[in-house]
Structure 1
Amino acid sequence: MSDNSSGNLSDELSGLDFAAVSPEEFARIVKGLSARELGEVMHGDLRARVLSEVFGRMKQQFRPEAAGQLKALIRWKITGESEEVYETSIADGACTVSAGRSGAEPRTTLVMGDADFLKLVSGNGNPVTMFMMRKLKVAGDVGLASGLTRYFDIPKA
């Protein structure tokens, strides 16, 4: 039965127009799924669409007043069926996001699986707890990593 339900779940999510889903609605969807279910749906085209949409929204969710004079490059490594790398650059009160690894040295690197990434960016995961439970690995500036959520409007489910 679980295979059938995950198939329906996958079908339901793959039919979503993620660009039309509000951050709050996305947070509710993530909150309603177990880590196993989140991992199951994060495959192939659907995974690429979800990651692209989440990183594409970071610029709009950025809070320049909270970042102040912060200048930092944050590298995100999302592991799952493959490792996807994105970089978030915060400088001069702006946030830019790019797919892939640049030649620049990141101030901090965050490594996590698909389900934990979705929980973190949807406000359903506590970054400190995730770090302590080794679901989130941090290389570089741990202080910056621990405060990252204050620089973005994180939805609440």
Structure 2
Amino acid sequence: MTDPTTMGPRELGAFVKRTSTPELRRLMHGDRRPAVLDEIFSNMPEVFRSDRAGALNAVIHWRVGDRPDGRTDDYEMTVAGGRCSVRKGHYLAPDLTLSIGGVDFLSLVTGQAHAVMLVMRGRLKTKGDLGLAAKFPTLFDPPKV
């Protein structure tokens, strides 16, 4: 299988689009999962749209589930001063918590799935500021594939 950690956002989007759900599930249950998630989260500030953030100051917790051990991979995103930063773990009190499975996360961040549809299907759970939850997807430019 191709190594998604070596791909830019557009290449990753094309990879997710052409890869079957069972193959993506194997990837997200395998030993490459931490590296894949770390790479995606480290690239989020690059696709952040500061022009759409305005004066937003928020802490967003991500909980990416479906790990084989039943736990989640946790990341904290801070939006402040028109900038976005991400770090592994949860440290600050969140304004919004997003909980999602691994394959759905790949689909969401690559533009293959829409956040509203994932919420409606119960595959993306939100807790906290619902206004922020509605605005959040517009703050990033998913790759066009």
Confirm or deny a common fold (TM above 0.5): yes
Question: Hey, what's the Cα distance between the residues in 2 that align with 1:116 and 1:17?
Answer: 16
Following superposition, the deviation at residue 147 of structure 1 comes to 2.0
What's the counterpart of residue 150 of structure 1? 138
Does residue 105 (structure 1) correspond to residue 108 (structure 2)? The answer is no
What's the counterpart of residue 84 of structure 2? 95
Following superposition, the deviation at residue 151 of structure 1 comes to 1.1
Q: Which runs of 5+ in 2 are unaligned?
A: none
Does residue 45 (structure 1) correspond to residue 34 (structure 2)? The answer is no
The residue type paired with residue 18 of structure 1 is T
Cα RMSD for the two superposed structures: 1.4
SS state at 1:97 partner:
strand
Asked which structure has the greater CA Rg, the reply is: 1
Q: Do the aligned partners of 1:23 and 1:122 also contact (CA within 8 Å) in 2?
A: yes
The correspondence of residues 114-129 of structure 1 with structure 2, limited to 5 A, is 114-129=102-117
Percentage of matched positions with identical amino acids: 39
The correspondence of residues 4-153 of structure 1 with structure 2, limited to 5 A, is 12-13=1-2, 16=3, 18-19=5-6, 21-81=7-67, 82-102=71-91, 104-153=92-141
Q: Do the aligned partners of 1:77 and 1:83 also contact (CA within 8 Å) in 2?
A: yes
- CA deviation map 1:3-46 (0-9, x unaligned): xxxxxxxxx23xx2624x22111101111123332111113431
State TM-score, norm by structure 2. Answer: 0.91
Q: Do the aligned partners of 1:38 and 1:115 also contact (CA within 8 Å) in 2?
A: yes
Paired residue total? 142
Q: Which runs of 5+ in 1 are unaligned?
A: 1-11
- CA deviation map 1:51-94 (0-9, x unaligned): 00000001111111110100000000000223100010000111
